[in-house]
Amino acid sequence: MKKQEFLEELKGYLKVLQDEEQEDILDEYSQHIEMKKERGLSEEEAIRDFGPVQQLAGEILQAYHVKPEYEKEMGKGKYFKGIHLLGKGMEEESREKSSSWRSHKEQAKALLGENGKKVRQVVRLLGRKIIYFLKLPFLIGEKVGKRWRKRKGMDGIRTEQAADHEKGAGRILRGTRRSVVCWIAGFMGCLFSSVSWCCRLGWNFCVLIATAGLVCLGLLFLFLFGGLSVLWMRGYPLAGVVLGCFGAVLCFAALSILSCTFFWVKQKGTARATERISKVVTIQGPMKERAKIEMREEDE
């Protein structure tokens, strides 16, 4: 059967429905056929998968609760007759699936054998290298920050932790060029912090102005609310306007509180940076642990 024939026949059965509904249904089916054709099936095959057109139309009409004589014709009734065997059937199928999955896995294991072990080791090693490179920028950033602070005299005493970090990062910045690099890094750090300071100043100024404006508007509406409610008490028909003013007062109060949260406080920025670094460390930590455990397992 061709697509056009199928749609025509289906349309014939759906005449009881409104025109838009008919079109909607036919659209869905023709789209479905198109998609099947894209998958490489022929038009006939795609349509055959729908089953008999009459039965299909009957099921569609059931969805609208229309005309019992149509439903009778299409043979409903049998719907839930055999459902009590359902549980067992489903269970069996799932059991079949899981057992076949297990056998696949075993096969794969046997196939890989010794080579598989080697491949796994190489993959693990590669993974560790990649993580190290990902971590590199953070290590450098940390080191640069420390050096710059020390130069400024903010970080007089070197803690144990800092020493550890420097030992780690020292591998990266080795050799005679160290002092030049440090100087450049310090300069960049200085530049970055001054730019960020300017940005913060500008941003906070904008937020301050916005907040002030919102507060002023809120106060204005509060006064309006007061005045209008007095008039309303006297009998003017101003109930709606008074309610509106009340709403506006609440709204502006909430908005001004919201805008207060937009102030850029300095601690936030540094907190975020340390959070990022600590995240990297926490990602690293468990992975190392896991690697160790796996190594131990392998040894056994």
Partner 1 sequence: MNAQFKKGVLELIVLESVRKRDMYGYELVEEVSKVIDVNEGTIYPLLKRLTNEHYFETYLRESKEGPPRKYYHLTASGILYRDSLEEEWMELQERVCRFLEEQSGGF
Contacting residues toward partner 1, per CB under 8 A: 24-25, 27-29, 31-32, 34-35, 38, 49-51, 55-56, 59-60, 62-64, 78-91, 93
We find the least distance from the C-beta atom of residue 168 to partner 1, in angstroms, to be 44
Please report the sign of the dihedral spanned by the C-alpha atoms of residue 64, residue 69, residue 74, residue 75.
positive
Rounded to whole angstroms, how far apart are CA atoms 300 and 296?
A: 6
CB nearer partner 1, residue 74 or residue 238: 74
Give helix 178-233 / helix 86-152 axis angle, nearest 10°: 110
Whose Cβ is closer to partner 1: residue 89's or residue 127's? Answer: 89
| CB nearer partner 1, residue 84 or residue 171 | 84
To partner 1, the closest distance from the beta carbon of 55 in angstroms equals 8
List b or e across 139-151, with b for residues whose CB sees 16 or more CB atoms inside 10 angstroms.
bebbbbbbbbeee
Q: How far is the CB of 108 from partner 1 (least distance, A)?
A: 22
Q: Which is nearer to partner 1, 45 or 275 (CB)?
A: 45
Q: Which is nearer to partner 1, 62 or 193 (CB)?
A: 62
Closest distance of CB 62 from partner 1, Å: 7
Cβ-based nearer residue to partner 1, 29 or 148: 29
Measured from the CB of residue 78, what is the shortest distance to partner 1 in angstroms? 6
CB of 281 to partner 1, least distance (A): 34
